[in-house]
Every structure is written in structure tokens, then in C-alpha cells.
Amino acid sequence: MHPMINVAVRAAREAGKIINRASLDLDLLRVSEKSANDFVTEVDRASEQAIIEVLLKAYPQHGILGEETGSTHGRADSEFQWIIDPLDGTTNFIHGLPMYAVSIALAHHGVVQHGVVYDPSRDELFTASRGAGAFLDNRRLRVSRRTRIEDSLIGTGFPFRRGDDLDTYLEMFKKISQRCVGLRRPGAAALDLAYVAAGRYDGFFEQGLKPWDVAAGSLLVTEAGGMVGNFTGEADFLHRGEVIAANPRVYAQMVSLLRVYAGRGQAGDAGPAA
């Protein structure tokens, strides 16, 4: 395993400990609303702090892009940037629904090289390094072999922020759900992407995502033999806020169904997140 992945795994496990401890006492949790239906807890903040401490101790010259702290830590001008979501699925966590994860990725000159998605409630550790494959714990991951969307289980995420274009999403939902075996919406995009890599889903699509939601998970998918892109099927998705991920055959079918919705349905913030 690459040393940078080892450091990311250590950071993810530290965050996981904080999250698991807090999950035993949800009644004591302090929650605040960043915007309508967009929550942050003291656990998100403590988790992000723990991750940043581990990463910067090992790599003090690196930059950080965190969901809660932006780019205030580390060196903003570094060619290396860690992209962190300390608790993807905060709303699930607040309710005690065990579908959430820690996501940590390392980008070099804007290209993701290493990714870790850690599910603390199941103790499942997904890792990938560019060119070296994707793994669940120590088992090599491959995307599913299904060739038709008609046989596929597809993951998605509903728009939940005020200003999101729900009507456009419902059109997409209808179009995909009429073609596939089933649509699932657990509520943590990092985990959804890990599940595509593991072959648990055949495909996934969502709008309104931020870089920290998809940076690590997207590398898991491509290293497991899948494809990730925006709704027109191009590789520019990290800052576009829309993602399709699937095995290659299902990916092509999803792109043909969703390409007409490219660039729609975002709450006016499709540009690079601060």
C-alpha cells in the first residue's frame, strides 16, 4: 500500500472512532443548520479536525479542502490537496440511520491519486490508488458485469436543498426507474460510489454534489473498472455538480438517458466550491 494511502486510512479510522462514539449518544448531539435541510454537527467538525491533524502531521506542506473548513488549513498553494468529507450522510447520522461514511482523497495538480471511503458503522474500508486497483479491506473490487440497464440496480440521491430543481430530478427519476430493476437512495454519495465499485449497484447518478462528495468514490469506481463522468459522459465532473458512475455498459445507457439534463437542476452553485 502506498504510504499516502496508509496515512489517509489512519485519518479515516480516527474520524470513524469519533463518529462511532457519538452515535451511541445521539440525544446529546448539537446540531446546527448551514442552510435549509443542510446540517452540520459537532461530530462533523471534530471528525474533520482529527483528519486534518493526522494528514498535516505527515504532510505539513500539503493543502486541504474540507467540507466544514474550506481551504483554511494547510498550504493553499500546494500542488497536493487533500479533499475531505468528514461525515458524508450527516442527516442519516443525526437520525441514527447507519448509512454514512468518511471520505478522504488526495489530488495532485487537480487529479485524484488516492482515495479512502470508510464506513464506521460496518467497519468497511474502501481504498484506491491510481493505477493500483480498488479494494474493500484487502479484497480487490470489480464493478458488476451486468450489461443491460433493465437488469440493473441503480443508486441515486434526491435534491434536498432549497432552490434545487426537483421537477427536473423527478423527470430523471421516472425515466431511469421505468428502465431499471430498482432505484435506491440511502443518502451518502461517497458510499454510493463505493458500492458501484464493489458491484453492489450497477450504476449511480446524482446532481448538486460537491468535490468532497465524489473525489474519493470516483477513483474507487474507475480503479474497479467502471466509468465516472458528468451527464454528457465527459470526465469533467468534480466541479460540475453532476455525476454518473457505472460499469462501462450501463454507463453508456445512463448517459443516453440523462444527457438532456446536463447542467440543469443545480442550486446556482455548480462552480468550484470554496
Query: For residue 88, is pLDDT > 90?
Result: yes
pTM exceeds 0.75 for this model: yes
Superfamily of domain 3-140: Fructose-1,6-Bisphosphatase, subunit A, domain 1 (3.30.540.10)
Q: What's the CATH class of domain 149-261?
A: alpha beta
Q: Give pairs for 247-252: CB < 8 Å, separation 24+.
A: 247/143, 247/144, 247/145, 247/146, 247/196, 247/199, 247/202, 247/203, 248/143, 249/146, 249/147, 249/148, 250/144, 250/146, 250/147, 250/148, 250/149, 250/152, 250/202, 250/203, 251/203, 251/226, 251/227
| Residues with Cβ within 8 Å of residue 178, at least 6 apart in sequence | none
| 48-59 average pLDDT score | 98
Better pLDDT: 272 or 27? 27
Could you state, in order of their start, the residue ranges of all structural domains in the chain? 3-140, 149-261
pLDDT, tens digit, for every residue of 211-251?
999 999 999 999 999 999 999 999 989 888 899 999 999 99
Q: How do 203-207 and 124-129 pair as beta strands?
A: unpaired
pLDDT, tens digit, for every residue of 141-176?
999 999 999 999 999 999 877 767 889 999 999 999
Residue 157 grid cell = 440521491
Please give the mean pLDDT across all residues of the chain: 93
Residue 265: pLDDT band (50, 70, 90) is low
CB 226 within 8 A of CB 247: yes
- Give the model's pLDDT for residue 153: 98
The one-letter amino acid at 105: A
Handedness of CA 104, 242, 198, 182 (dihedral sign): positive
